[in-house]
Chain A
Amino acid sequence: MKTRIKEFRARYNLTQEDLAKKVGVRRETIVFLEKGRYNPSLQLAHDVAKALKAKIEELFIF
């Protein structure tokens, strides 16, 4: 699974820490998500997409 989280994060000038706090997860979770090494639940994918003002399918490429 590939993700465009890093790209969207850069668009809003957000650090991994900022995004983690916005979503309510630990920073490592954002690191793993960006690297595509963790498949999030639909809830987490939705929360990340909402925080980055994007659609889930724009962020996560299966």
Chain B
Amino acid sequence: MKKNKTSKDKLRLMAIVILSLLLISTGTLFSLATFKKGDIAGGFLGIIIAISILGFALFVFIRGNRDLKEGYPLKDERSKKVIEKASSTAFYVSLYLLLAIGFFSDEVAKFRDVSQATSVAVGGMAILFLTFWMYYNKKGI
């Protein structure tokens, strides 16, 4: 039973690595396309996002691999609850973020098109999730 759980955890870790690689490739392609269009700031933003994902993926992989070797599960009851709480709070707060983008898109930041505004909103949700995850993981739930 425990061996089965460990192999499931290994598969989960591999899935995280593959997803992260896909995200990094997408970020790199996005940056290259943006650089070609002459948007230097947008290109650098893409590179920063790709590097952040790479850093986070490395952190998750190294920590997960070490935990599996030491015999700890990748996820347990508390860590699942932390993820649930962080994701629900991030979703709730991001509704206000979307409203704010809608209201202030003309005054504060001019978006090139809808896809750019959507990218900012999705990126904001990801950052909010990460922030709430760190908060609840440290403070406890």
Interface residues of A (CB under 8 A from B): 17, 20-21, 24-29, 32, 35, 37-38, 40-41, 43-44
A-B contact pairs, 17 of them (CB 8 A): A21-B72, A24-B73, A25-B72, A25-B78, A26-B76, A27-B72, A28-B137, A29-B77, A32-B78, A32-B140, A35-B140, A37-B140, A38-B140, A38-B141, A40-B77, A43-B77, A44-B77
A29 to B140, CA, bound (A): 10
> Does A25 contact B73, Cβ atoms closer than 8 Å?
yes
What are the residues of chain B within 8 A of A41 when measuring CB–CB?
77
Residues of B within 8 A of A35 (CB): 140
| A37-B140, A38-B140, A38-B141 known; A28+B78 contact, CB < 8 A | yes
Closest to A28 in B: B78
B residues in contact with A20, CB < 8 Å: 72
Kindly provide the distance from the CB of A25 to the nearest chain B CB, expressed in whole angstroms: 4
Q: A29–B71 contact, CB under 8 A?
A: no
Residue of A nearest to B75 (CB): A26
Give complex CA distance A43, B77 in Å: 10
Q: Are B140 and A24 in contact (CB under 8 A)?
A: no
Fill in one digit per residue for B56-87: 1 if any A CB lies within 8 Å of its CB, else 0: 00000000000100111100111100000000
Chain A residues whose CB sits within 8 angstroms of the CB of B72 once the complex forms: 20-21, 25-27
**CB-nearest residue of chain A to B140:** A37
Bound complex: CA A43 to CA B72 (Å) = 18
Cross-chain contact B140 with A25 (CB below 8 angstroms): no
On whether the beta carbons of A26 and B140 are closer than 8 Å, the reply is no
Q: Mark B1-34, 1 if CB is under 8 A from A, else 0.
A: 0100000000000000000000000000000000
Name the CB-closest residue of A to B141.
A38
